[in-house]
Amino acid sequence: AQTVTQSQPEMSVQEAETVTLSCTYDTSESDYYLFWYKQPPSRQMILVIRQEAYKQQNATENRFSVNFQKAAKSFSLKISDSQLGDAAMYFCAYADGGSQGNLIFGKGTKLSVKP
Amino acid sequence: DADVTQTPRNRITKTGKRIMLECSQTKGHDRMYWYRQDPGLGLRLIYYSFDVKDINKGEISDGYSVSRQAQAKFSLSLESAIPNQTALYFCATSLDRDQPQHFGDGTRLSIL
């Protein structure tokens, strides 16, 4: 069974600095998708970024980028120029490329941003 | 207006009661999901549905049932609520297996 591991329960970053959140996953599939979701205190689940496993190029969305290392099964999220509004829980999620494509979530990393 | 709407937003009830959580969507997606979020555990899949006639159990379906009344509506029921079902419940939709899931704002359920 696929698993997703986020080894950092909590992280802290200074405003305007850069922080990297770690995620590793375990799968025997070659076709899959990876996601980062943000959950602010408002409890909404907001998609941050998406990566297709067959693409070597790392996905980017403005200040958010990923370091996707397929062989190492690693999918870290880098947040540049951190802002107070980035403070949230961040969840890494995996979906296999089969017919179901159900998401498997990590346990999350709580990010604090210091002014 | 929200694309994925969950009602109620919060609910407090007693052990043994039957509870229904409702989800409706205007995104036109066929795929709908129910998740449960507990502190320190992330989100876990309860049930999912790929169309009105296709409903499947997820990782933690015991104690729950669902109904897909229409493409746009997917309800989660707790037949006889127990305190360890106290959690934040999310409904989500997606266009296809490789597309992101879009979440409602969640229902916080407390069972006393």
Closest residue in B to A4 (Cα) is B42
What are the mean pLDDT values of chain B's consecutive 10-residue runs (112 residues total)? Answer: 89 96 96 94 93 93 96 96 97 89 96 96
pLDDT in the model for residue B105: 95
Instruction: Specify the residue for token string 């502190």.
Output: B39
> Which residues in chain B are closer than 8 Å to A101, comparing Cβ atoms?
94, 96-98
Across the interface, whether the CB atoms of B43 and A102 are under 8 A apart is answered no
Sign of CA dihedral A53, A54, A58, A60: negative
**Residue among B30, B45, B36, B50 at smallest CA distance from B95:** B30
- Structure tokens that stand for A111 in this block: 């990010």
CB contact under 8 A, B97 and A98: yes
Q: Do B106 and A43 touch (CB under 8 A)?
A: yes
pLDDT at A5: 97
H-run or E-run covering A33:
strand A32-39
* pLDDT given for residue A98 in this prediction: 72
Q: Residue for token digits 């709908």?
A: B32
CB A19, CB A34: distance < 8 Å = no
Across chain B, how many H-helices and E-strands are there?
Answer: 0, 11
Residue of B nearest to A92 (CA): B42
Residue B2 confidence (pLDDT):
63
Average pLDDT over every residue of A55-81: 95
Alpha-carbon distance B31 to nearest alpha carbon in chain A (angstroms): 10
By Cβ distance, the residue of A43, A97, A103 closest to B101 is A103
